[in-house]
């Protein structure tokens, strides 16, 4: 096992706040909210009619093969991957067998499946031959590999809302075991269809503030009533330091640590005391060789659910201490909604930008603090801060926990 550092050389983001990292970050720290009424499908009969949609995305600019046999989650992941690879300057053709891709998604092509089934039941029994490849989760990674000629390892991880963080962890493991020199970690999600919205609404997981979408997602606020669905894609190119330096790459940050645990508690609810998430954060700190005091910012999972926000707060306090000891924490889901598999990547990108810019993004709509959520959540307005390391948490259904630590690079 190599002890070589792993570095980040490229990033890409397709989000409800912007279609690249620069626009996403500008709007995020500017306090812009990407949540609004759903207009991509008919939700008039549903109790939840709002989401954070990707707007202005032109799938027509993607390679024709990708257009023909892909669904939106793949398209968002592919476009984010294009950005990350372009920024990195990596020439895959120089050694294609040493470049891999790991994809994370929670629900894959579920929206296309629902749409196709509706058409099938409505009297259109002929289904496109592209339906299966456009629906299955691994095809997002395959499209990237085919387009760029990657012939290294390829994996797709489906660990619910922690899938994006887990994709980055798997990319790191491939590098450390010598399977590749560079691995693209990507995530994509687009689940906006009546069947998914109805199911999550009946489970009482979603906010129902349809009359005020901009203030519906309220992480850590006393008035929170559920999360808001988001969609998008994120991508990070990870390399061994020696490989990046040998080709003269610009290094954005170091992937310092990661953790993965399971609660072993419930299929949807988090363990109330947060100990599974706490163990995950401790694993990430141990891998990074850092103490809790070294972390300057935590991007929380913070979905705006009553149980989830409280459990994550308890987990953070268990590891970092109370308000006087724990670093500033914020949830960016008040702005982006819950991007699920893609969020694990876009939120790590958020941490990298916080390191680079010395600016912590706010938790939107935190107006009446919940007494059970008593940390510093950077309410409503971005804050300047000079930090050297940051942590991103992603906590998914089934008790899946992912924690990623990134740190500033110094040669």
Residue in 143, 209, 243, 338 annotated catalytic: 338
Residue in 217, 271, 301, 351 annotated catalytic: 301
Nearest alpha carbon to residue 242 among 47, 5, 1, 36: 5
Q: 143 an active-site residue?
A: no
8 Å CB contact between 329 and 375 = yes
Question: CA 375, CA 381: separation in Å to the nearest integer?
Answer: 16
Q: 280 an active-site residue?
A: no
Question: CA 217, CA 209: separation in Å to the nearest integer?
Answer: 9
Question: CA 214, CA 217: separation in Å to the nearest integer?
Answer: 8
Strands 6-14, 232-240: parallel, antiparallel or unpaired by DSSP? antiparallel
The residues facing 189 across adjacent strands are 232
- Sheet architecture: strand order including 99-104: 154-157, 99-104, 182-189, 232-240, 6-14, 253-262, 400-407, 389-396, 297-299, 329-330
CB within 8 Å of 7: residues ≥ 6 apart: 238, 239, 240, 241, 244, 251, 252, 253, 254, 255, 409
Residue in 33, 143, 161, 217 annotated catalytic: 161
How far from chain centre, in Å, is Cα 302?
A: 12
Phi then psi for residue 378, to 5 deg, are 50, 65
Q: 161 an active-site residue?
A: yes
Question: CA 6, CA 12: separation in Å to the nearest integer?
Answer: 18
Question: CA 54, CA 357: separation in Å to the nearest integer?
Answer: 25
8 Å CB contact between 279 and 265 = no
Question: CA 327, CA 376: separation in Å to the nearest integer?
Answer: 8
- Give the active site residues: 161, 301, 338
């Amino acid at each position: 096992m190599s002890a070589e550092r792993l570095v980040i050389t490229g990033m890409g983001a397709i989000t409800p706040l912007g279609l690249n990292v620069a626009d996403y970050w500008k709007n995020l720290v500017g306090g812009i909210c990407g949540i609004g009424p759903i207009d991509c499908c008919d939700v008039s009969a549903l109790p939840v009619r709002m989401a954070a949609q990707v707007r202005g995305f032109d799938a027509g600019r993607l390679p024709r093969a990708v257009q023909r046999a892909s669904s939106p989650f793949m398209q968002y992941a592919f476009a984010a991957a294009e950005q990350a690879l372009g920024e990195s300057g990596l020439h895959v053709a120089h050694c294609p067998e040493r470049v891999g891709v790991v994809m994370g998604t929670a629900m894959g092509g579920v929206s296309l499946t629902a749409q196709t089934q509706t058409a099938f039941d409505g009297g259109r029994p002929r289904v496109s031959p592209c339906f299966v490849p456009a629906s299955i989760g691994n095809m997002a990674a395959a499209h990237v590999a085919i387009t760029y000629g990657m012939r290294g390892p390829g994996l797709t991880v489906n660990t619910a809302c922690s899938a994006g963080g887990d994709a980055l962890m798997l990319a790191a493991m491939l590098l450390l075991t010598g399977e590749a020199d560079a691995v693209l970690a990507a995530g994509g999600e687009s689940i906006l269809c009546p069947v998914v919205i109805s199911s999550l609404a009946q489970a009482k997981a979603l906010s129902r503030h349809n009359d005020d979408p901009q203030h519906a997602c309220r992480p850590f606020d006393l008035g929170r009533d559920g999360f808001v669905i988001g969609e998008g894609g994120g991508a990070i190119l990870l390399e061994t330091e020696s490989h990046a330096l040998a080709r003269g790459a610009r290094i954005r940050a170091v992937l310092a640590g990661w953790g993965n645990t399971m609660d072993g508690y419930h299929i949807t609810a988090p363990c109330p005391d947060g100990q599974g998430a706490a163990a995950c954060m401790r694993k990430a700190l141990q891998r990074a060789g850092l103490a809790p005091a070294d972390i300057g910012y935590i991007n929380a999972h913070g979905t705006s659910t009553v149980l989830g926000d409280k459990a994550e707060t308890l987990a953070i306090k268990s590891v970092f201490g109370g308000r006087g000891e724990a670093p500033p924490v914020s949830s960016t889901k008040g702005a982006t909604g819950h991007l699920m598999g893609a969020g694990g990547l876009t939120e790590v990108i958020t941490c990298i930008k916080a390191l680079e810019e010395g600016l912590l993004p706010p938790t939107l709509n935190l107006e009446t603090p919940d007494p059970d959520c008593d940390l510093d959540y950077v309410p409503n307005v971005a804050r300047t801060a000079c930090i050297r390391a940051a942590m991103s948490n992603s906590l998914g259904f089934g008790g899946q926990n992912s924690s990623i630590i990134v740190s500033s690079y110094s040669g």
